[in-house]
Amino acid sequence: MFGQVNQRTVGSIFAAAALSIIVLINTPGNAADHPNVLFIAVDDLACALGCYGDTRANTPNIDRLAATGVCFERAYNQLPLCNPTRASVMTGLRPDQIKVYDLDRHFRDEVPDVVTLPQAFMKAGYSAQRVGKIYHYNVPASIGTDGFDDPPSWQCTINPSGRDKREEDLIFNAEPHRQISAALSWLAAEGEDEEQTDGMIASAAIELMEKRGEEPFFLGVGFFRPHTPYVAPKKYFDMYPVEQLQLPYAPPGDRDDIPVAAFAHNCPVPNYNLEEPILLQALQAYYACVSFVDAQVGRLLDAVERLGLEENTIIVLWSDHGYHLGEHNGVWQKRTLFEQSARSPLIVRVPGASGNGQACQEIVEYVDMYPTLLDVAGLPAEPNLAGQSLRPLLNDPGKEWNGVAVTQV
């Protein structure tokens, strides 16, 4: 029903799924006393969300999560490219420590015995399961496979493949000389949410929660959109009429004082030499995908409430990096040190945390996620992690922090 399923251990296949939202409760005792973690990752998601001040974005569900958790408004990824940041988050180490700077190297080539975030939870008696993209995948080529996964991190993996994968020939590519994985490309799809890969991912994750076992779960849920190609049901495109959109303002000569090196990995030619009408359609398609994924996040949040898991589940939502939508006179996508690429969404809801419902303006890093989740779940700290626990900020988002973030390209 959900595509490729891989289960390596006998027992509760439905105990946990990997969502990029984390739910944690800090309770002493055996594993059964500890909170679940819903760990939700969204691919290529900029801070194009209502809760981050984007008045154009229609994102009621992620906004709902932010309103009941802590929204970190100055969270920075370690390297704004899919594989390095994901590997960094999951190992708690910086790219220079794991020697992952591109899309082709696996972190275990450098640190073969590292204990990943879900492994740390498994050591404490949790089940650890993944649905969709948590570690790196080539999109859309690897949809429906394990991608660049880390088998020791999971007891069960589910890799849905939906209509978007089967109908790639319908996708419009504004840059035919480039593959749709890298080009501005999109499709206003026919059919329902549940026919798309991300809709299937939400359905599979919900089923895992419904059929969970007695042990607490670490469930990783990874959505593929809004990564290119921008594919979402047509109704989400209709939310953003092209005639009501406009490209980001750039003053004349905006690039004149920017070093050439700043564009070494991205957009050396403004807007890929595309005309404004095409760029506005790309902008529409990106926001459509954001709203589509937001709806799937809403389904997860509704399931957590319906199943009575709200009070013992930590939810974390993050993206692997930010995303350019035409800023700086025509920069698109990622892999720059500009704010739009280095700064990324991070929302954490810990049941009972006194900071819930507030925004945090302190500088934090993605390597902080690993120690934070262990701390708020009441689990032992792993040695040699690069980050620090954000638990003090989860209880007091206005606390003086003096945080420093290191992002590299």
**pLDDT per position as a tens digit, 252-308:** 888 888 888 887 788 778 899 999 999 999 999 999 999 999 999 999 999 999 999
309 contact partners, CB below 8 Å, separation of at least 6: 23, 36, 209
Domain range annotation of the chain: 4-395
Round to whole Å and give the CA distance between 166 and 181: 15
Residue type present at position 281? Q
Round to whole Å and give the CA distance between 117 and 367: 11
CATH class of 4-395: alpha beta
3-state DSSP helix/strand/coil % of the chain, to nearest 5: 35, 15, 50
pLDDT in tens, 168-196: 999 999 999 999 999 999 999 999 999 99
Round to whole Å and give the CA distance between 143 and 125: 30
pTM passes above 0.75: yes
Percent over 90 (pLDDT), the chain: 86
Beta bridge partners of 217: 127
The residues annotated as belonging to the active site are 82, 136
Round to whole Å and give the CA distance between 210 and 205: 9
Of 117, 130, 68, 123, the C-alpha closest to 387 is: 117
Cis bond before residue 351 (omega within 30° of 0): no
pLDDT in tens, 49-95: 999 999 999 999 999 999 999 999 999 999 999 999 999 999 999 99
Beta bridge partners of 127: 217
- CB neighbourhood size of 69 (10 A): 27
Cα three-residue angle 66-161-318, rounded to 5 degrees: 20
Are the C-beta atoms of residues 281 and 5 closer than 8 Å to each other? no
Of 7, 21, 2, the C-alpha closest to 350 is: 21
62 contact partners, CB below 8 Å, separation of at least 6: 49, 50, 51, 294, 297, 317, 345, 347
Are the C-beta atoms of residues 62 and 317 closer than 8 Å to each other? yes
